[in-house]
Amino acid sequence: MIHGKKVVVVLPAYNAAKTLEKTYREIDFDIVDDVILVDDNSKDETVEVAKQIGINHILRHDRNYGYGGNQKTCYNYALKIGADIVIMLHPDYQYNPKLIPSMAYLIAKEVFHVVLGSRILGDRAMINGMPVYKYIANRILTWTQNFLIWQKLSEYHTGYRAFSKEVLEKLNLEANSDDFIFDNQMLCQIFYLGYEIGEISCPAKYFEEASSINFSRSSKYGLGVIGTSIKYRLNKWGILKSDIYHKPAEKRIEVIAGK
């Protein structure tokens, strides 16, 4: 705990058997109280590895619900077990687990309600192996989104995120997509509610086992980012009234096959 606040790390997993243990071993359990792994119906031994290394809470979807669907279960279950601070970490070892204390303290000290681990801050993304086309796409999409929603994040596309309980309880996550655009919709919801988002520099690793999406899905995601930004602006102007901003938060429907 930090200042009496329960810290929970959630691991949205899909075929993460090769990297899960390495990720888990670098989590600082001096401050982290619980770890939740939600397996999105993997085809490998992710669940078996999770059991072997002693993860407290292991949930397995009864089918593949997608990256966004996985996170919905993660956050819902974290709140269910009493989390005050929730940190979402990919179990593919792309993001550095050693940054968890820094992210958690910023929330525990009430500096921010949301903290992102940014691959762009520090200007080391490509030095650490980010493909050139991904770096260029990241910068273009981030500039476009900052312009459309009037914010100044260094990037919107990191998968390393920390949230206060207060924020998670207010977001209508069930209205969001179950696909990769979920991440972007979530940040727009947070800004819509008037919260500030903090960022810290996070050197990321790029290697064969690290999760990635192909060009086709990347293109779909990019178009979704632009569409999400436009809808955000139209909702701010009162022209649209989208459920993700105006419908009260709903609880996650039970979709797990076992624990």
The CATH number of residue 166's host domain is 3.90.550.10
In a domain, 184, yes or no: yes
25: containing domain: 7-250
Please state the rounded mean pLDDT for residues 142-162: 94
In a domain, 98, yes or no: yes
| pLDDT tens profile 104-122 | 999 999 999 999 999 888 7
Token pair recorded at residue 37: 């792994």
In sequence order, the 6+-apart residues with CB closer than 8 A to the CB of 17 are: 42, 44, 45, 46, 48, 49
In a domain, 1, yes or no: no
Please state the rounded mean pLDDT for residues 204-228: 75
pLDDT number for residue 255: 65
In a domain, 26, yes or no: yes
Distance of CA 236 to the CA centre of its chain: 24
Question: Does the structure show a pLDDT above 70 at 228?
Answer: yes
Lowest mean pLDDT among 70-84, 207-221, 244-258: 207-221
In a domain, 255, yes or no: no
Question: Does the structure show a pLDDT above 60 at 94?
Answer: yes
In a domain, 57, yes or no: yes
pLDDT number for residue 125: 59
In a domain, 256, yes or no: no
Q: How confident is residue 191, by pLDDT bands cut at 50, 70 and 90?
A: very high
Please state the rounded mean pLDDT for residues 222-239: 95
Please give the span between the terminal C-alpha atoms of the chain, in angstroms, as a whole number. Answer: 24
In a domain, 127, yes or no: yes
In sequence order, the 6+-apart residues with CB closer than 8 A to the CB of 215 are: none
Total count of domains within the chain: 1
C-alpha to C-alpha distance for 179 and 201, rounded to whole angstroms: 26
Question: Does the structure show a pLDDT above 90 at 249?
Answer: no
What burial letters (b/e) apply to 139-174, b meaning 16+ CB within 10 Å?
A: eebbebbbebbebebbbbbbbbbbbbbebbebbbbb
